[in-house]
Amino acid sequence: MNLTDRPRRLRADGIRSLVSETDLSASDLIAPVFVDATTEERIPIESMPGQERVPVSEAVARVEEVRETGVEAVMLFGIPESKDERGTRAWAEDGVVQEATRRVTEATDAYVITDVCLCEYTSHGHCGVVEEHAETDPTLTVKNDETLDLLTRTAVSHAEAGADMVAPSSMTDGMVGAIREGLDDSGREDVPIMSYAAKYESAFYGPFRDAADGAPAFGDRRHYQMDPANAREAMREVASDVEQGADVLMVKPALAYLDVVRAVREGFDHPVAAYNVSGEYAMLHAAADNGWLDLEEAAAESLLSMKRAGADLILTYFAEDVAASL
């Protein structure tokens, strides 16, 4: 054989790492933190091994644990002490995320991002104000424009509590523009928006709904979250959010949607985030528990694939474990 091209030459020890095309670092990762106003102690999340809900009094300690691994950013999710049809605790000055944000920003150097949605706060578990008779009529859904005001109030309340960035996740048409206007009008024009720009109605969210107590009491979210079959629609969604002022563009979920991550990366100059969701996390743990794969290696490879596809930032429950191993 007379081969002029032998790719294996660059796979030898010493050169292999020098020609590696993609790097993963702790600064790429964002760790979700669940803060629960209904408890005074940490509560393990059974469907998400290694994850837990923490009381407001433990929020600072939990974030400090994240920072010790080298992860610089957290995203706060809240479980309120009470719920109602409109999710009014979402924008309360003394709400769970607002109080946790104040404590964490005052006591740590973590970059604090807050999830802006209503599903954890509404008694029906939907991401906004539902239409009349929606409980019994599967053709009805969330009132889009009425929900925008509530999302804006929530985002502004998070910013006023000290959030470094807000992340609207409800897939409500116009949410980025409404929140951008609200932040600007309140003197928070420097607070960026990470939009859940392409968020699909996915089967991979199950464990999260246990963690955040946000499962719909009736129906589903197909009328406002995207159809998993659609990729071109994702580009329209992302373009709309860019026009409205989104600073960071998120694709959720990540592993089953790497084609969308790549398309967003190639189509837009904005930073791209990928959400390595709860079901993706739980399934690797389940396989590892059965001895079918090495958890640490599989987790790192999964996150590397998201980075290779074009994600600049990765929101993941593996953040601490992977960061500690880098």
Which of the residues are catalytic?
A: 199, 252
Which is nearest to 106 in space by CA: 180, 165, 162?
Answer: 162
Q: Is 117 annotated as a binding residue?
A: yes
Q: Give the SS3 label for residue 284.
A: helix
Q: What contacts 234, CB < 8 A, 6 or more positions away?
A: 197, 198, 226, 251, 260, 263, 264
Six token digits for residue 65: 């644990």
Output phi, psi for 197, to 5 deg: -75, -35
Q: Is 317 annotated as a binding residue?
A: yes
Which is nearest to 32 in space by CA: 109, 116, 121, 112?
Answer: 112
Q: Is 237 annotated as a binding residue?
A: yes
Q: Whole-angstrom Cα distance, residue 68 to residue 240?
A: 38
User: Under a CB-based contact definition with an 8 Å cutoff, are residues 33 and 65 in contact?
Assistant: no
70: buried, middle or exposed (CB in 10 Å: 19+, 13-18, 0-12)? Answer: middle
Which is nearest to 119 in space by CA: 47, 170, 51, 178?
Answer: 170
Q: Is 209 annotated as a binding residue?
A: yes
For residue 266, the surrounding DSSP H or E stretch is helix 258-267
Query: Packing angle between helix 144-161 and helix 96-107, nearest 10 degrees?
Result: 30
Q: Whole-angstrom Cα distance, residue 123 to residue 90?
A: 12
Q: Is 202 annotated as a binding residue?
A: no
Q: Whole-angstrom Cα distance, residue 273 to residue 203?
A: 20
Q: Is 278 annotated as a binding residue?
A: yes
Q: Whole-angstrom Cα distance, residue 232 to residue 85?
A: 34
Which is nearest to 118 in space by CA: 141, 89, 92, 96?
Answer: 89
Q: Whole-angstrom Cα distance, residue 302 to residue 200?
A: 19
Annotated binding site for 5-aminolevulinate: 209, 221, 278, 317
Annotated binding site for Zn(2+): 117, 119, 127
Annotated binding site for Mg(2+): 237
